[in-house]
Amino acid sequence: MIIDNLRNASLCFGFHKNFRVAFEYLLRTDFTHVENGKYPLDGENVFAIVNRYETKSEEELKWEGHRKYIDIQFVASGDEQIGIVEIGKMTTATEYDETKDVQFFSGEGEFFALGEKMFAIIFPHEVHKPGIAVDGTSQVLKVVIKVRV
């Protein structure tokens, strides 16, 4: 897991061959003018999911993990907490859904605040619980970039 501000994104370009594509999209795009939806950046190798939502309590959300993609979760506006933990410390709650590239887990993890213009890189060996309210519910504009492993 890596958590940082978007202004430092260039430090992550070398971590994966497609991170430059992902971060350059985040750096050049004004998401206040982008509708919710899926946006291909390099076919199914790299794509963005733009979403607006209201944060929820931790109890309302699930721990999730992915096998085919690395998540770059970017908060364009608003703030939220995100839980992150290594997959080996969790208990499997559902079978892996290959079509949706998701599996749900139960257990405990660490929580971090993601403020405006911050991102978290979450790798397949990690499980995360995004969208948690910081101080009461609030509106968030988030972009999740999916980068094929």
CATH class of the 2-148 domain in this structure: mainly beta
Q: What is the pLDDT of residue 33?
A: 95
Q: What is the pLDDT of residues 100-135, one digit of tens each?
A: 999 999 999 999 999 999 999 999 999 999 999 998
Residue 93 CA, distance from chain mean position: 20
Domain ranges for the chain: 2-148
Q: Residue 121, exposed/middle/buried by CB under 10 A (0-12, 13-18, 19+)?
A: buried
Q: What is the pLDDT of residue 114?
A: 97
Tell me whether strands 103-106 and 110-114 are parallel, antiparallel or unpaired: unpaired
Higher pLDDT, 95 or 135: 95
- What is the rounded average pLDDT of the residues 14-22? 96
Query: 149, 117, 86, 101: which is closest to 3 by C-alpha?
Result: 117
Q: What is the pLDDT of residues 27-86, one digit of tens each?
A: 999 999 999 999 999 999 999 999 999 999 999 999 999 999 999 999 999 999 999 999
